[in-house]
Amino acid sequence: NAGVTQTPKFRILKIGQSMTLQCTQDMNHNYMYWYRQDPGMGLKLIYYSVGAGITDKGEVPNGYNVSRSTTEDFPLRLELAAPSQTSVYFCASMGGRTDTQYFGPGTRLTVL
């Protein structure tokens, strides 16, 4: 049981490039979340999903897209990378019968 896994761990992008941050969970959780963490700012919710095929915007969705074709996977897409998207990105999941979110190890993204 690996929990929540994220790839890659680190990535440097040039302005305007695109990439997908991968997130997979093996706990059969319905709920999945993407956060970004900026220094001194806590975590901000980007997008979330309550089940396969259902996604919704969080607090800071601009510049990002998500999809949820399976229960296990919840990729985050950056289409046109900007320096403001330099951050650490965390994926999390939560089961339907618990209130606890479990976090992945994070992806550190730098946009230059």
Partner 1 sequence: AQSVAQPEDQVNVAEGNPLTVKCTYSVSGNPYLFWYVQYPNRGLQFLLKYITGDNLVKGSYGFEAEFNKSQTSFHLKKPSALVSDSALYFCAVRDMRGKLIFGQGTELSVKP
Minimum CB separation of residue 17 from partner 1 in Å reads 24
* Cα gap 92→3, rounded to integer Å: 10
Q: Of 10 and 69, which has the nearer Cβ to partner 1?
A: 10
Looking at the DSSP bridge assignments, the partners of residue 54 are 51
Of 73, 112, 65, which Cα lies nearest the Cα of 93?
73
State the residues that interact with partner 1 by CB under 8 A.
Answer: 4, 31, 33, 40-43, 45, 48, 50, 58, 90, 92, 94, 99-106
Three-class SS state of 85: helix
Distant-in-sequence, close-in-space partners of 88: CB < 8 Å, separation ≥ 6: 36, 37, 38, 106, 107, 108, 109
Minimum CB separation of residue 41 from partner 1 in Å reads 6
Minimum CB separation of residue 20 from partner 1 in Å reads 19
Q: Of 40 and 62, which has the nearer Cβ to partner 1?
A: 40
Q: Of 18 and 98, which has the nearer Cβ to partner 1?
A: 98
